[in-house]
Amino acid sequence: MTEPVDTVPRAFLGVERSVSDQRWVSRLDQAGQNRALAMAQLHGMPELIARVLAGRGVAVDEALEFLDPTIRNLMPDPHTLTDCELAANRLAAAIEKNEKIAIFGDYDVDGASSAALMFRFLNHFGLEPEIYIPDRIFEGYGPNPAAMQQLAANGATLIVTVDCGSTSHESLLAAKQAGTDVVVIDHHQVGETLPPCVALVNPNRQDDLSGQGHLCAAGVVFLVLVATLRVMKDKKDRRAFTLDLLSFLDIVALATVCDVVPLKGLNRAYVVKGLVAARHMNNAGLAALFKIAGLGGPVTPYHFGFLIGPRINAGGRIGDAALGSRLLTIDDPSGAEVIAAKLDELNRERQAMETVMLAEAEAEALAEYGDGSGAGVIVTARQNWHPGIVGLLASRLKDRFRRPAFAIAFDANGKGTGSGRSINGFDLGRMVRAAVDNGLLVKGGGHAMAAGLTVERSALGKLRTFFEESASKAIASLVENSALKIDGAIGASGATLDLIDRLEAAGPYGSGHSQPIFAIPAHRLKDARTVGANHVKITLEALDGSRLDGIAFRAADAPLGQLLLNGRGRSVHVAGTLGAEQWQGQRRVQIRVLDAAIAN
């Protein structure tokens, strides 16, 4: 009789339940390990790097091309996007006739970047388009009829909406009735009925077969500009031959990283080549923001996501929403420094507000849901919260409770503006759209990992019940089977700068191409202390005396932080991501600690 095959993978390092209540497993099954070995042997790469690539679905014969993504190889013909040719022709006609164009953008990084790309392109051809970014609080997301009518009254014969507009039927109708054409360039999910416009370029519309649905809005705008430049070259416009579109890739890369779209296909090329462009510091706005943020070393995706993105977003959250796009379009270094300083100031204000609001949200969540283990979805709400910060609260709550989470800010009239963040495996946008269909929301939408909504206070109780009934079973299953996937084990002596450089070459990492997680097995916890805003700094020591520094962000009060702070001198398994930090002019390896367990 044949013994049954055990389909449950063995726990990595024997960690069945870590301090964060996760089972550690190898990212690679046996087939994946064989693929990694073949990749290492065929291409002569370190086996650890081959494991990282194999664990992210890279085929053996694709590995070398994957490590050197190029725009030329990965960019599709822009005309494969539905309506892209129509949009390019309309833009080219506007350039030829020197029409007055308005660009209507969103107030986040992707919206600011998309608006800046369109502006810089049109400006090269001598146009001075008006950029309109709506106020997050008073106007909300996307085009509104009053704004469209005002742009038309200002003389715009063409309005280009970027990172918005796909579902703005009433607003686009208002523009049409005012005699103004509209071109929509977007990436958000689209319904079956399309709004009235000259062209709607969105790889996520149902009749688009381009396969580029993973692009952010700026990535789609870039493709439209490639198509438009082709038209202008066909028209023998001399200005078309002096424009280097690749110089815009720093802006595209910024948006791609900050909008957390999957880093696969063309997105990888956008980011890799965009980082090269960013390191030249040719964009005065980005250079000014990097300077005030204290950039150390070459620009990386981390710097886009954690230094630049939050500062640009701060304008849209609590200040002037147009500051971000203005910064990315300015060429005057001194003017750029003024805007950068204002965004930096707004970001500090945002951080202070977030600290207070997060304490309130966590207190409410603990009172309502306890440790969250019995909840499907965490929903918090309060009247005095700033609606521009609820998305950040939702993200923090999601991380703490390991459940999809919403934070809702109610105004004095009982109208709530909310934002939600999800965990892997649960489609939050679909649930929000179902709530709209059931009449529980004024409006709402989003994608799998993030969503926004507007709700009346009187419907909050029913909404909580609907979310719980919709999600509880699926979330319970996802949490019960949650596992931390480990790419490999490495000792302190093996965590070298050379390894970091090789890992970076296998990046960039983010959504759809996750940061490699390594286990540091059975090292002595030589030191652990609280630093900064609730972070825990540690030093691990191997038997051979080699050491590795690490940090667990915002962990001091969490079980992970408590284990580390109380475990000095003990042998621990630590799991996290490896990177390099700049300290006093020196580059050193550091592990960002995500989880830990006492080593038996």
Query: pLDDT tens for residues 341-377?
Result: 999 999 999 999 999 999 999 999 999 998 888 899 9
Q: Is the pLDDT of residue 582 over 80?
A: no
- 173-201 burial, b at 16+ Cβ within 10 Å, e below that, comes to bbbbebebbbbbbbbbbbeeebbebbbbb
Q: Where are the domains of the chain?
A: 12-25+487-598, 73-280, 370-481
pLDDT in tens, 398-438: 988 989 999 999 999 999 999 999 998 999 999 999 999 99
pLDDT over 70, % of the chain: 99
Question: What letter would DSSP give residue 245?
Answer: G
Greatest Cα pair distance, the chain, in angstroms, is 83
Q: What is the CATH number of domain 73-280?
A: 3.90.1640.30
What pLDDT shows up at residue 379? 97
Question: What letter would DSSP give residue 12?
Answer: G
Per-residue pLDDT averaged across 251-261, rounded? Answer: 95
pLDDT in tens, 305-317: 999 999 999 998 8
**Backbone phi and psi for residue 571, each to the nearest 5 degrees, phi listed first:** -90, 125
Per-residue pLDDT averaged across 178-206, rounded? Answer: 95
What pLDDT shows up at residue 5? 44
Q: What is the CATH number of domain 12-25+487-598?
A: 2.40.50.460
Judge contact between 584 and 506, C-beta under 8 A.
Answer: no
Instruction: Count Cα neighbours of 523 within 13 Å in the Cβ-side half-sphere.
Output: 28
Instruction: Pick the closest to residue 113 from 266, 283, 280, 254 (CA basis).
Output: 254
Tell me how far CA of residue 46 lies from CA of 37, 40, 139, 505, in angstroms: 9, 6, 53, 12
Per-residue pLDDT averaged across 555-569, rounded? Answer: 94
What CATH architecture is 370-481?
Roll (3.10)
pLDDT in tens, 92-104: 999 999 999 999 9
C-beta atoms surrounding 398 within 10 Å: 23
pLDDT over 90, % of the chain: 83
Per-residue pLDDT averaged across 250-254, rounded? Answer: 98
Q: Using CA atoms, how far apart are residues 274 and 219, in angstroms rounded to an integer?
A: 11
Q: Which residue has the higher pLDDT, 262 or 178?
A: 178
Q: Output the average pLDDT for the chain.
A: 94
pLDDT in tens, 379-404: 999 998 999 999 999 999 998 898 99
Instruction: Pick the closest to residue 518 from 59, 46, 44 (CA basis).
Output: 46
Outline where DSSP puts E strands in 306-372.
Answer: none
What pLDDT shows up at residue 571? 97
Judge contact between 16 and 595, C-beta under 8 A.
Answer: no
Q: Which residues pair with 523 in a beta bridge?
A: 572
pLDDT in tens, 19-73: 988 999 999 999 999 999 999 999 999 999 999 999 999 999 999 999 999 999 9
pTM of the model as a whole = 0.89
What pLDDT shows up at residue 446? 78
What pLDDT shows up at residue 2? 43
